A and B are shown apart, each in its own frame.
Chain A
Amino acid sequence: MRLSKEETDELLRQIGLTEDQEIDCDQCLALVAEFAEQEACGARVRAALEAVRQHLAICGECQEEYAALCLTLDNAETKPNG
């Protein structure tokens, strides 16, 4: 089995980011709307949401979904108050 240089780099990157405790994809989904609104406002996210940031750095699918959610946040219906 041969991993490409890019795949090896990615695996090493993920190992370097690995935490003993991580949230899973459903836990990320439960928190990502709040995280996206806070990030869009430039607000400092509460501590519990740092786990979302860590999950997004590892999970490509959740990162893709988060990026798509951010594209909707200039919409009046999703714009956070304040």
Chain B
Amino acid sequence: MPRSNEQWVSRLKARQDTTLIELRGILIRNLGKALVRHSHVDEGLIEDMVQDSVMRILDRLDQFEGNSQFVTWATSIAIRVAMGELRRRRWKDVSLSQILPDANTTFAGTVDSAPPPERILMRQSMVQAMYEAMEKCLSERQRTALLAELKGMPLDEIAQRMGSNRNAIYKLTHDARKKLRTGLEAAGYTAEDINESTSEVIA
């Protein structure tokens, strides 16, 4: 019979062995499903990840508000732990300077060939305004974090290299995006212009 959320929490707070074993078993199964696309992840690695996850879950039991099934909440934490570990392994030998060799030099735009000429002009001037805002309005840390993210480096990895944490880097890039939006608005571009530009070019 499935346990209620309250039973999970109270028994885990009491560190009841049978409940801990059951939670580990569920997380091993769920991580197996969640990481099915990561063919290099073996059972031993999953067990290590679950071990770390259970510790994290026990530390956060008081933060569980009961708005979902307890196991879904616990699985979301286990997935964050597991994905973080996989990203660390994937990016461990990559430095910021490798992916951003010239982050502080002048930005140069690219030219699209597919859209009609007026769209090319509109997009070129918008991109130029965005680049100017990047140079004038962003701090070096904001520019570095934003560009590293665009180059595909995960936030945790950017944070580790910048002596920060994932939340702080997200806040840094959020502030950067707001400044760029303000810069584009000052140059006469609305959010609608920006959205139309990207949908046209991507399509």
Contacts and interface: CB of A to CB of B under 8 A. Distances in A.
A75 B34 CA distance: 11
Interface residues of A, number: 45
B110 A5 contact: yes
B201 interface: yes
B101 to A, nearest CB: 9
B194 A12 contact: yes
Interface in B62-92: 63, 65, 67-69, 71-73, 75-77, 79-80, 83, 87
Contacts of B154: 60-61
B39 interface: no
Given A1-B107, A8-B127, A16 B195 contact: yes
Interface string A39-82: 00000000000000000000111001100110111010111110
Nearest to A55: B170
Interface residues of B, number: 62
Nearest to B201: A9
Contact of A24 (B29, B167, B197): B167
Nearest to B75: A72
Given A10-B150, A13-B198, A33-B73, A69 B127 contact: no
Contacts of A25: 155, 166-167, 170
Nearest to B190: A16
30 contacts: A1-B105, A3-B107, A3-B110, A3-B147, A3-B150, A5-B112, A8-B130, A10-B150, A11-B130, A12-B198, A13-B202, A14-B177, A16-B194, A16-B198, A18-B177, A25-B155, A26-B166, A26-B167, A29-B77, A33-B68, A34-B68, A36-B68, A59-B170, A61-B87, A68-B35, A72-B30, A73-B72, A77-B30, A80-B72, A81-B69
Interface of B: 2, 26, 29-30, 33-36, 63, 65, 67-69, 71-73, 75-77, 79-80, 83, 87, 100, 102-110, 112, 126-127, 130, 146-147, 149-151, 154-156, 166-167, 170-171, 174, 177-178, 180-181, 184, 191, 194-195, 197-198, 201-202
The 8 closest A-B pairs by CB, nearest first: A33-B68, A68-B34, A16-B194, A33-B72, A33-B73, A34-B68, A18-B177, A34-B67
